[in-house]
A and B are shown apart, each in its own frame.
Chain A
Amino acid sequence: MLVLTLLFLVGVVAGLFGALLGLGGGLFLVPALSLLFHIDLHLAIGTSLVGVIATSAGVSCVSSQSKMNDVPLALNLELGTTAGAITGSLIAGMLSPQFLSILFGGFVLMMAVYTVYKGFAARRRMREPQVRQLREELFTGSYKVKNWGMGVAMSYLAGNVSGLSGVGGGFIKVPIMYSVMGVPLGVATATSNFMVGITAAASVFVYYAHGYIAPLIAVPTAFGVFGGAILGAKLYQRFDVRFLRGILVAVLFYISGQMIWKGVMAYVRK
């Protein structure tokens, strides 16, 4: 019973952080299940995909968070992302857990670097005059989506990462929409939250059919993630994002180091 309760609590933390930071929650779930519970990496990825869907559903249940998402943009990009997710999930079945561990560590490291960059960018923006006007533009300004071809191609890559590693791929989607396609940051984050659920849904059935989703692991985790995501979506505006970002970066660097180390050592021992 203790293990099930711990899985639930891990889910709550993943859902809370996933919703607060717009990451989906998979970045926490995969290493937590693999490193703390010693669950096989394929099972951890399958469970994480269910967790990503639960985060997306939890955020959607809190209507004020989901209103900002650009559904037409999300669906057009999802054409590339879902195709990438299926390819990724089919490839993942052929890869060894050691290689997957190193690959996942690499993705988490990229995420950590991206989060540090995002923190610096936010600090730079705060120094600029007319911050309020800028903030309004970031969230509600009118915009015209550009670079569609590049956006769909990069979305395919994000989908591939999601199918391979069990993360939502939000850390690729948000910068694509914001930096490449000219979408305001607030809209990009909300749209990404909507998209990660669809992307995960495209590969979760492949994992389910291969037996990589164990009900007794996935169910308590999904309950926890769903509750954590609702809590995160409700607390979103009350938290000091800089504090959260600091914790997140420390955790991400630690996780990436652990996962890469685990994979490399497994190869060395072979």
Chain B
Amino acid sequence: MSASKPESRKETVTAEMHRVMTKVTVIASFLAGVLMLFGSVLYLFSGMPIPGKSSLAKVPTPTLSQLLTGREYLNPSAYLGLGLIVLSLTPILRIIVALTYFWHIKSKRNMLAAIGVLAIIVLSIVLAWR
């Protein structure tokens, strides 16, 4: 009986982790959707021509610094870009939830793995925008 108690506690915490992961993903995806939708509406009302097949790629991707400094305020592509970045961050948020869970159950090996993966992704962001 006593042997099964820690096991069932672990299962409860695991179920809770999956529940939180789902919730975080839903919220972040919703936020990304709102940003992209807002950008799309701005685009439609900005008077810019609706692009055809050949001009799809011609709307430039805003840079990170443009997004962060707000220089692209009310620029439709900035909101579209920001929405895409928020969507791209959802897997990272899931890792952070997992890290919190591993810290809670004091699983050092898995905590290190989660930190390692986060570090590699941060490195990719640094490499990308250096």
A interface residues (Cβ-Cβ under 8 A, vs B): 1, 3-4, 37-40, 43, 50, 53-54, 56-58, 60-61, 63, 66-67, 71-72, 75-76, 78-79, 82-83, 85-86, 89-90, 194, 197-198, 200-206, 208-211, 213-219, 222-223, 226
Contact = CB atoms under 8 A, between A and B. Distances in A.
Interface of A is mostly: helix
Contacts of B129: 205, 209
Given A1-B50, A201-B121, A216-B56, A75 B95 contact: yes
A56 B22 CA distance: 11
A75 B107 CA distance: 13
Nearest to B85: A208
Contacts of B101: 71
Given A75-B114, A76-B110, A219 B56 contact: no
Interface of B: 14-15, 17-19, 21-22, 25-26, 28-29, 33, 36, 39-40, 50-53, 56-62, 64, 77, 80-81, 83-85, 87-92, 94-95, 98, 101-102, 107, 110, 113-114, 116-117, 120-121, 123-125, 127-129
Nearest to B61: A211
Contact of B17 (A40, A71, A82, A223): A71
A72 B25 contact: no
A197 B91 contact: yes
16 contacts: A3-B56, A53-B88, A54-B87, A56-B91, A57-B91, A63-B18, A71-B98, A75-B110, A78-B117, A82-B120, A201-B88, A211-B61, A214-B57, A214-B59, A219-B83, A222-B36
A89 B125 CA distance: 12
A47 B56 CA distance: 12
A223 B83 CA distance: 11
B56 to A, nearest CB: 5
A75 B119 CA distance: 12
B60 A83 contact: no
A82 B18 contact: no
Given A79-B120, A211-B60, A61 B26 contact: yes
